[in-house]
Amino acid sequence: MLRKLALALSFATVVTAQQTAPASDPPVEKTKKNIKVLTGLPTSQLIPVMAFMSNSLGVTCAHCHTDKWESDEKQAKDVARTMVLMQRDINERHFGGELAVTCNSCHQGHLEPISIPSLDRAGWNQPPAPPKPDLSKMPAAAELVTKYVKAAGSEKPAAFDATATATRANGRTEPTSGPVTFHVSAEGVKIDTDFSYPPDANRGPNTAFLGPLRINEMYKGMQVTGTERVRGHDTYVVEARATEGRAERLFFDKETGLLVRRYRETPTDYGVVPEAYDFEDYRDVAGMKIPYLITWSRADYKVTHKLEKVAPAM
Ligand code: HEC
Ligand code: HEC
């Protein structure tokens, strides 16, 4: 269901992005030094596309790149170019130009796709399908949101300031840490830091903090779709569409009602990039429950935010 939604969204992006790369988002060949096959891709999509490729192959950026991103020194980079052309050709020739086949269709996290099927997966050898969740026995999404807002104390969120240490790991230059200050108020979240977040992504922690505070404004069409175990918590899974259009999944702790994880998918012209925000170590602050550990994971990096001091704003 969600997968279909994500694909539908990505098709929409293919059409609009390639036809109307807006002036504020010029095509990569105008902004980068050595683009031979990704021509026409809006610059804002370059890093998400790179993240998608890395994730599909199970490698870091360093598999194809040296310190100079534009360099063609590594052979894998040129192989990747032929793969981009091949993928495009397959989709145009056989799937009416839809993004049916992606790097991940073949690679599935391996550099060399596995071409021989496994006997473990033979038809007679499949584990029984898990029972379909009985949705009639589960609370409605609105009920879970109400419970969450109450548990988090965010009906009337108090303004607060938090100091934290952010640590980034990307498999290349790690780990890198730096101090971060969050100023949270009814207007939103302001972040002060010299720590360099991954490019294109510095709004991530911002919305991660905002999510809990403004859940009702952030989502449309919330629907409970089942249960799942996340980091040792039994959770209800809610599928939703963020107001900016992206499909998301929210995982609410069955017992405490608090948000354990937020998962979302970003469509690009070459595939859908998954990312997750994990919320842990909730503590009481000024009548609210604040997650003292927020981990943000994407194909190309993982950034943890460890809160040290949280104080109500003066
Ligand atoms: C599987 C190989 C592969 C991986 C992994 C990969 N890239 Fe790339 N990257 C390419 C290719 C191929 C190009 C050139 C595309 C073209 O010619 O149109 C490119 C181009 C770039 C450019 C543009 C450089 C310039 O000025 O021309 C940047 C920046 C970049 N990649 C960043 C990244 C980052 C960041 C990551 C990790 C998240 C990454 N890449 C992972 C293959 C890869
Ligand atoms: C239709 C299946 C298919 C698709 C789609 C596909 N690949 Fe591949 N790829 C392969 C196969 C098969 C090989 C191994 C070729 C060999 O062993 O010589 C390979 C090899 C590679 C390699 C060389 C591995 C190494 O050791 O460095 C890179 C890099 C690569 N693919 C990148 C990509 C990227 C990036 C995409 C998406 C744009 C992609 N591939 C899409 C089938 C595919």
Q: Write the pLDDT tens digit of every residue in 47-73.
A: 999 999 999 999 999 999 999 999 999
User: Ligand 2 centre and the CA of 84: distance in Å?
Assistant: 9
State the Cα–Cα distance between residues 236 and 258, nearest whole angstrom. Answer: 10
Q: Are residues 263 and 192 in the same domain?
A: yes
Q: Are residues 67 and 175 in the same domain?
A: no
The reply to whether omega before 175 is within 30° of 0 (cis) is: yes
For position 212, what pLDDT does the model report? 59
Q: Are residues 99 and 174 in the same domain?
A: no
State the Cα–Cα distance between residues 109 and 93, nearest whole angstrom. Answer: 25
Domain with 299 in it: 135-312
Do the Cβ atoms of 163 and 309 come closer than 8 Å? yes
User: Ligand 2 centre and the CA of 198: distance in Å?
Assistant: 26
Q: Are residues 184 and 301 in the same domain?
A: yes
**Residue 19 above 70 pLDDT?**
no
125 lies in a domain? no
For position 21, what pLDDT does the model report? 57
For position 34, what pLDDT does the model report? 98
**Residue 293 above 90 pLDDT?**
yes
User: Ligand 1 centre and the CA of 69: distance in Å?
Assistant: 7
- Ligand nearest to the backbone CA of 77: 1
245-255 average pLDDT score: 91
In total, the chain counts a number of residues equal to 314
**Residue 312 above 60 pLDDT?**
yes
**Residue among 186, 201, 241 nearest 9 (CA):** 241
Confidence of residue 5 (pLDDT cuts 50, 70, 90): very low
123 lies in a domain? no
Last residue of a domain, one of 107, 126, 147: 107
Q: Are residues 147 and 93 in the same domain?
A: no
Q: Are residues 87 and 145 in the same domain?
A: no
- Ligand nearest to the backbone CA of 103: 2
Residues with beta carbon inside 6 Å of ligand 2? Answer: 53, 57, 76, 79-80, 83-84, 87, 101, 103, 105-107, 111-113, 270
Q: Are residues 155 and 95 in the same domain?
A: no
For position 12, what pLDDT does the model report? 32
**Residue 314 above 80 pLDDT?**
no
Last residue of a domain, one of 107, 122, 151: 107
**Residue 266 above 80 pLDDT?**
yes
147 lies in a domain? yes
Q: Are residues 33 and 146 in the same domain?
A: no
**Residue 25 above 80 pLDDT?**
yes
As a whole number, the mean pLDDT across the chain is 85
Q: Are residues 42 and 92 in the same domain?
A: yes
Q: Are residues 52 and 182 in the same domain?
A: no
End-to-end CA distance of the chain: 46
Compute CA distances 21 → 25, 189, 267, whole Å. 6, 30, 15
192 lies in a domain? yes
For position 51, what pLDDT does the model report? 93
**Residue 154 above 70 pLDDT?**
yes
64 lies in a domain? yes
262-287 average pLDDT score: 90
Cα Rg of the chain (Å, integer): 21
**Residue 225 above 90 pLDDT?**
yes
What is the domain-level CATH number for residue 240? Answer: 2.50.20.10
68 lies in a domain? yes
Q: Pick 159 or 32 by higher pLDDT.
A: 32
**Residue 175 above 70 pLDDT?**
yes
241-258 average pLDDT score: 89
**Residue 139 above 70 pLDDT?**
yes
**Residue among 86, 104, 81 nearest 273 (CA):** 104
- Is ligand 1 within 6 A of the CB of residue 64? yes
Task: Enter the pTM of the model.
Answer: 0.88
What is the domain-level CATH number for residue 76? Answer: 1.10.468.10
Q: Are residues 101 and 195 in the same domain?
A: no
Q: Are residues 98 and 146 in the same domain?
A: no
State the Cα–Cα distance between residues 155 and 142, nearest whole angstrom. Answer: 14
- Is ligand 1 within 6 A of the CB of residue 77? yes
Q: Pick 23 or 255 by higher pLDDT.
A: 255
Q: Write the pLDDT tens digit of every residue in 187-220.
A: 777 888 888 776 555 555 665 565 556 777 778 8
State the Cα–Cα distance between residues 172 and 61, nearest whole angstrom. Answer: 8
198 lies in a domain? yes
**Residue 133 above 90 pLDDT?**
no
Q: Pick 4 or 139 by higher pLDDT.
A: 139
Per-residue burial over 32-68, b = 16 or more CB atoms within 10 Å of its CB, e = otherwise: eeebeebeebbbbbbbbbbbbbbbbbebbbebbbeee
**Residue 91 above 70 pLDDT?**
yes
For position 88, what pLDDT does the model report? 97
For position 311, what pLDDT does the model report? 87
115 lies in a domain? no
Identify the top-confidence range among 16-30, 59-73, 289-303: 59-73
Quote the number of domains for the chain: 2
State the Cα–Cα distance between residues 234 and 255, nearest whole angstrom. Answer: 8
User: Ligand 2 centre and the CA of 220: distance in Å?
Assistant: 38
